[in-house]
Structure 1
Amino acid sequence: MAGVWQQVLALDAKYNAYRAPNNPQFRTLYIRRRSQLLRENANKEGDVATRKDYLRLRAQLLNSRYGSPAFSDQGSIKSRSFSLRSISRNTAESYDSLAALGPSDGRKRHRRNTSSGSLKHLYEGPMKRVYDSIEVVPTSAAEASRAMVGGKTVSENYAFAGMHHIFDQHSAAVTSVKFAHDDKTRVACSSLDGSLSICQVIPPPATVICMLKGHKGGVTDFVWSLSNDVILSASKDSTARLWDVAAGTCMRVIHDGSGGEVNCCLFQPLNNNMFVIGNNRCMVQVMNMSTGKGYKGGSSKITGQVQSMAFDSSGKLLWAGDDKGSIFSFTVDVATGKLAKARRITVCDGQAITSISARAWLSREARDPSLLVNCCLNSLCLFKIVSDDGALQLKKTFPIKQRSSYIKSCFCPLMSFRMGACVISGSEDMCVYFFDVTKDSKTCVNKLLGHSAPVLDVCFNCDESLLASCDEQGMVIIWKREGKQAQL
């Protein structure tokens, strides 16, 4: 399965020079994002023949859109047969494209040539055999991979220092801050003053686009839909609300069935018509966005107040953390919304789990599926996901200050080929911390000072050029990377 996705990435890399010729940064971001998505889907169930058909059709579409870069000097492909020399040369060019993804990173290659054929023969013949023979063997060298990110260290890549803008439109603590998906310009905030705000940060000057008002209690959490057209919010007023982002209006009010305060919310990653809420009466509930009603069999009770939740990328596994120090895993039927409790993991008895984030892999040095957890024990915890039902194994802890505040953390959005991998967290000592999860000592690679209250949440935009952080006094700081142009 993984081999077919590797072939798709190799094909995309071959044509990458033809995308956005005047914007090389976009090309780099595009190919890295493709790599991330393909890796996430590599081990999912599916028919190999179907995936190979996808590869063939994508090759034809790319050729139709951009022409055939490998054979442009040979004239029309339709009426041309290929010599052994031309096939050999262009097979080598396919390796040159793969070199951009790290030829010194341990990829084993075997060349095969043929004497003649059509475009179909090319993709189903020698090139297909070349792609089929690729085997990914991670190594510690990764020289070409590091070249993709400018040869910089993790510390250099996350050298955020200057402030791009400061927002202070909220009169109470800002509980969560999130950039829109695949969007580096818009960020939204939720606050205990009962409102949410949507802000434009690029181009300057940064402005507040609109305020979303309607909740009768503090807003504890929110999330963007995948298409960024809807925001789902959770509140202490025992409701969740769906907001039309473009109009800035409330589309639907969902009342919690048990009458509890809603502490957290999530969209199902593969079906945004389905979302999950967790409340202070220990209930996890799967809801339908169209009807505002719960699914049959879609609720479950845990031992404490639900404070945080996270899905895996498949949407079939859900984790919920409570105020008693436990994380519960659930299997989710994507079609019916039915929940089934699977595991209970105690992180620290009696200490609230305030944030959970899931990631399929971080980098070439940290390839295990991972869960990032904030718990009120002065540590940020990184767990390895060790089974299909969500069992966890503690890998590392990182020192932060957290005893009582509802602090959140996040993975860096770009799963890069660089050495090292970063996670970021707020802290009660008013700092933002960057940690390299691949290091065994001196894991803190950057620390930002600027807040005058505990930092509750942090979030990157999609290309990691800006970082947002929020605190208990209602301040939101947008940080910018050092230098005029970040090398991603």
Structure 2
Amino acid sequence: MAAVWQQQAFAIDARYNAHRAPNHPNFRTLYIRRRCQLLREHTKGEDSVIRKHYLRIRSQLLQQRYGVSCEQSSIHSRSISARSSSRISESPEISQFPSENNFASDQGVLVPTKEAEASRAIVGGTSIAENYAFVGVHHIFDQHTAGVTMLKFANNDRSRLCCASFDGTVSICNVTANPPHVEVVLKGHKKGVTGCDWSVSNDLMVSCSLDATLCLWDVASQKCLRVVKDQMDAEMLSCLFQPANNNMVIAGNSRGMVEVLNVSTGIYPRGGSSKLGGKVLALACDASGQLLWAGNNKGTIVSFLFDLETGKLSKLCRLTVVENCPITCISWRAWISREARDPTLLVNCAANVLYLFRVMDKEGGLQLKRKFAVHHKNCLVRSIFCPIMSFRQGACVVTGSEDSCVYFLNIEREEKPCVNKLQGHACPVLGVSFNYDESLLATSDQQGLVIVWKREKPTTNSAQQNTYV
């Protein structure tokens, strides 16, 4: 409980931090770091009544001092009726947001198995809430001067974190060093960076930008190997490595084109471009690299067949999630728990909804499985599956939110899916990323702040831990 109170106090200070020294950003960062340190060191064993009283008084004093209230206003979701089988509409039942620990689901309820009960006993019976008790601030990075739109830990790596920012730079941080530090800030774009991705072996990175270029970086030498202009001279809004062939990168631009680029040659192969329409904000591939999903700012998701030899794209299925509400993030997962072994997509839609879709067939067709209310209407909010497939009942996802909070949602729970809420950002949370063993979670916001959170390990004895495979 002490850690939760620390977050609440930290969140109050973070909200007012921009008013403390508007012309001295370095001081603001130093203040909030020191404040976090003091909260960790001096909040043990205090009475809960005193804590609540302190929070109320501090909030009042800060409001009087700076003459502004930084309380977060609520956002009400809207209901849009379904018009055809190819459209998904937001239900009036999901008007409550995760901060109230409520959600609505469709009829596809997952039934836990007896095997899951047995496995849960093997690992010590810890609950999913205990398993995702990220409570403490591990480190705060502030090297960026504008919103950090995307975060990505390197593949199978605990330490290296990539941050893409609207200030036109990409940074790589080492979060487990003592102390954590920024290894390099990569400068090659002339405008805001909208996306980034690691190659499978982490030796290369790709980034895309509003300056209509895509940059290929060598991580070891920290040099830009190639700069490729968009073939339509359009803003590039999303990018990722083809998982089965890292010579190829898939990108989406502001003119609605999904494009394939051979980064070894700098050539766009014939047949490797397909028109989606709108602005292509989100991309995701399955593990084989043969299925691709792309989402745009019109609320549409289209699946494509990717020819691994030629790079040719062929359209398969089209789904309108919520008309004219941008799809800002798509994540693919082969399976999410023992009870749900279907391929699944996690989709952020700027209609105050986080969607979970079941992948129905080899053409990438989607069926609505669950939906969760999340504060999301205007920003590039992203989400992620928790990387470790737990043997416990339940499965978790983490999403950013425009109410400045980070939410952990148990996507298999019918009631009160929110198992944890992190408070510490002072503006909309955009990016979220786990390192591979779930020991650290990184979150970023619209002002450029990156917070790395550490997990409080569940209490299990060593004998129980040794039997967990």
TM-score, length of structure 2 as denominator length? 0.73
Q: Say whether residues 1:375 and 2:320 are aligned partners.
A: no
Tell me the percent identity.
56
Q: Say whether residues 1:269 and 2:243 are aligned partners.
A: yes
Q: Say whether residues 1:311 and 2:288 are aligned partners.
A: no
Shift of residue 475, structure 1, vs aligned partner = 0.2
Which entry has the higher C-alpha Rg, 1 or 2? 1
Deviations 1:79-124 (CA, angstroms, capped at 9, x unpaired): xxxxxxxxxxxxxxxxxxxxxxxxxxxxxxxxxxxxxxxxxxxxxx
SS of residue paired to 1:155: helix
Deviations 1:138-185 (CA, angstroms, capped at 9, x unpaired): 833434422454321111100000000000000000010111100001
Q: Say whether residues 1:355 and 2:296 are aligned partners.
A: no
Relative to structure 1, the CA distance from residue 300 to residue 148 in structure 2 (aligned partners, 3 Å threshold; closer, same or farther) is: farther
SS of residue paired to 2:358: strand
- The root-mean-square deviation of aligned C-alpha atoms, in Å, is 1.6
Q: What residue is the counterpart of 1:364 in the other structure?
A: 338
Q: What residue is the counterpart of 1:139 in the other structure?
A: 113
Relative to structure 1, the CA distance from residue 258 to residue 335 in structure 2 (aligned partners, 3 Å threshold; closer, same or farther) is: same
- Looking at structure 2, the residues matched to 262 and 303 of structure 1 have their Cα atoms a distance apart, in angstroms, of 14
- Looking at structure 1, the residues matched to 321 and 133 of structure 2 have their Cα atoms a distance apart, in angstroms, of 32
- Looking at structure 1, the residues matched to 396 and 302 of structure 2 have their Cα atoms a distance apart, in angstroms, of 25
Q: What residue is the counterpart of 1:466 in the other structure?
A: 440
Match of 2:199 among 225, 230, 245: 225
Match of 2:221 among 247, 255, 259: 247
Q: What residue is the counterpart of 2:320 in the other structure?
A: 346
Bigger drift between 392-401 and 475-484 goes to 475-484
- Looking at structure 1, the residues matched to 285 and 122 of structure 2 have their Cα atoms a distance apart, in angstroms, of 30
Which residues of structure 1 form unaligned runs of 5+? 1-137
- Looking at structure 2, the residues matched to 484 and 209 of structure 1 have their Cα atoms a distance apart, in angstroms, of 32
Q: What residue is the counterpart of 2:180 in the other structure?
A: 206
Q: What residue is the counterpart of 2:59 in the other structure?
A: none
Deviations 1:261-303 (CA, angstroms, capped at 9, x unpaired): 0000011111111110100011101111210111111100112
Q: Say whether residues 1:260 and 2:234 are aligned partners.
A: yes
Partner amino acid for 1:324? Answer: K
The question of whether the paired residues in 1 share the 8 Å contact of 2:148 and 2:164 is answered with yes
Partner amino acid for 1:277? Answer: A
- Looking at structure 2, the residues matched to 247 and 166 of structure 1 have their Cα atoms a distance apart, in angstroms, of 26
SS of residue paired to 2:272: strand
Q: What residue is the counterpart of 1:478 in the other structure?
A: 452
Q: What residue is the counterpart of 1:24 in the other structure?
A: none
Match of 1:327 among 297, 301, 318: 301
Deviations 1:286-344 (CA, angstroms, capped at 9, x unpaired): 11121011111110011211010000111100000001000011001111111000111
- Looking at structure 2, the residues matched to 447 and 214 of structure 1 have their Cα atoms a distance apart, in angstroms, of 36
Q: Could you say which structure has the greater relative contact order, defined with CA pairs below 8 angstroms and 6 or more residues apart?
A: 2
Q: Say whether residues 1:411 and 2:372 are aligned partners.
A: no
Deviations 1:392-419 (CA, angstroms, capped at 9, x unpaired): 1111111110001011101011122221
Count of aligned residue pairs for this structure pair: 352
Shift of residue 367, structure 1, vs aligned partner = 1.7
- Looking at structure 1, the residues matched to 263 and 234 of structure 2 have their Cα atoms a distance apart, in angstroms, of 19
Deviations 1:185-223 (CA, angstroms, capped at 9, x unpaired): 111101000001101111321000011001001000000
Shift >6 Å, 4+ stretches: 484-488
Q: What residue is the counterpart of 1:391 in the other structure?
A: 365
- Looking at structure 1, the residues matched to 203 and 259 of structure 2 have their Cα atoms a distance apart, in angstroms, of 23
Q: What residue is the counterpart of 2:10 in the other structure?
A: none
The question of whether the paired residues in 1 share the 8 Å contact of 2:230 and 2:236 is answered with yes
Q: Say whether residues 1:433 and 2:433 are aligned partners.
A: no
Deviations 1:438-478 (CA, angstroms, capped at 9, x unpaired): 11111111110000010001010000000000000000000
Partner amino acid for 1:425? Answer: T
Partner amino acid for 2:261? Answer: M
The question of whether the paired residues in 2 share the 8 Å contact of 1:365 and 1:438 is answered with no
The question of whether the paired residues in 2 share the 8 Å contact of 1:175 and 1:457 is answered with yes
Deviations 1:353-388 (CA, angstroms, capped at 9, x unpaired): 000001110011222111000010111100111111
Partner amino acid for 1:172? Answer: A
Greater helix proportion: 1
Match of 2:422 among 448, 472, 477: 448
Q: What residue is the counterpart of 1:190 in the other structure?
A: 164
Shift of residue 485, structure 1, vs aligned partner = 8.6
Partner amino acid for 2:179? Answer: P
SS of residue paired to 1:146: helix
